[in-house]
Structure 1
């Protein structure tokens, strides 16, 4: 059973096609990666499947999220799906989080709206959500986003995205703005939480190593089109599209340079 079924998705900005006839599915519990260069249409696709495109963009085709048609639906009709059918984890938590609202209240909002929690039950749920993302101290619930580090903010954003126990987590380059050590911690956190909760995952990145680490099946995007789809092993071991072959070769060249300290390119 698919939690997300995308067919012929096209997104335009005037005459320009940002996403061009893209089709894919995400089954319940499946992990799917989307990879491509900046401007390939990855993030626009993630916004289209949740009905969050800017008014200046136009979407056509079909997007079924938990069986509900997203394309053409009103914002009011989509509110019950956002957070419950799909939780969304954005690239930059400082802009995704409300700067004027304490962290605990932001985590509580989807629990109140989608799960109907109130009072002490809601407070306990917020505390457990923060513990799940390794922010167990009570001070975190009372903090404002600017009082936290980048890694802590992204943990809060993950807690919000997962607060209503969604069927699908959409992670749009969630570690790009973080340093390498914190990036690894966030990836391990997401890996654990997705596994524990049996959710589906749509993971978007420009980093081939990260995508193959986090997902089982990969969609390669280039200039708005899905040029190749396959398992992570197929994409790395036997890429079919020229763009994919170049992407894999570039990753291998970088790995070789980093593994060989005598190579000047590694410095």
Structure 2
């Protein structure tokens, strides 16, 4: 089965020159990571804050900040991302892979109405114009379970709730009909009830469209609902990987055991909130 995303030996470091041979090279933020996603696969990437999860998602689409450097290999479908120009990668963003960011309020343009922001990728990835484009915007909002679409299209991001903003961000990520969806902590900024709704929405859309999913989170309990395979990151290195049920039931690495214990403690607290 062909790989939509193939990461081999990914290392991410801060850019900078060594003054002399005695100066140690910059510490790697991600080191030697291997990861792949094929059609229909569901892979989870988990770890604590600073483990390199979000950097990996940005690197996959060639979106790392200028001060960071990726080495190794990242192939998005048949294109090598490492070393590629932004011009070469732009057609792949949104069509081969779509990205949902952690905080939609910062991912969305605060100065553009929501309808215009959603129309932009639809226009870029299709031949739709004018009335057909506006109709597609409305359909895209309805697909992510947003009602009152006329009001939402006219609204600015700050005028929407957190859950509505995240649904808009998902609609934008899916506008180009990508074959792979990368969801980077997509529910962290939401309350528990809205979080469950957004997870159910993502699960349904991935299933209905037959997409691959790379789901990134610090929360193993959330990841376990969404993926079949999980990779655990610690200080930029993959310390454990395997089927999610196996990792949950018999974690091998100390960091994984902590994540499992934390997930179980949260479940216990929800069941008995006293």
TM-score by length of 1: 0.94
Q: Which residue of 2 aligns with 1:76?
A: 87
Q: Is 2:48–2:218's contact at 8 Å kept on the other side of the alignment?
A: yes
Q: Tell me the CA shift for residue 100 of structure 1.
A: 1.1
Q: Which residue of 2 aligns with 1:185?
A: 197
Residues 136, 237 of structure 1: alpha-carbon distance in 2 compared, 3 angstrom cutoff: same
How far, CA to CA, are the matches of 1:242 and 1:94 in structure 2?
35
Residues 206, 64 of structure 1: alpha-carbon distance in 2 compared, 3 angstrom cutoff: same
Q: Which residue of 1 aligns with 2:250?
A: 238
> 1:105-254, aligned counterparts within 5 Å?
105-137=116-148, 138-254=150-266
> 1:60-75, aligned counterparts within 5 Å?
60-75=71-86
How far, CA to CA, are the matches of 1:176 and 1:227 in structure 2?
23
How far, CA to CA, are the matches of 1:92 and 1:164 in structure 2?
21
Which among 38, 43, 59 is matched to residue 27 of structure 1? 38
Aligned pairs, how many?
262
Residues 154, 258 of structure 1: alpha-carbon distance in 2 compared, 3 angstrom cutoff: closer
Matched residue SS, 1:166: coil
Aligned-pair Cα RMSD in Å: 1.3
How far, CA to CA, are the matches of 1:78 and 1:90 in structure 2?
18
- Does the alignment pair 1:9 with 2:10? yes
How far, CA to CA, are the matches of 2:40 and 2:117 in structure 1?
26
Structure 1 ranges of 4+ moved more than 4 A: none
How far, CA to CA, are the matches of 1:17 and 1:257 in structure 2?
37
Unmatched segments (≥5 aa) in structure 1:
none
Q: Which residue of 1 aligns with 2:21?
A: none
Q: Tell me the CA shift for residue 258 of structure 1.
A: 4.4
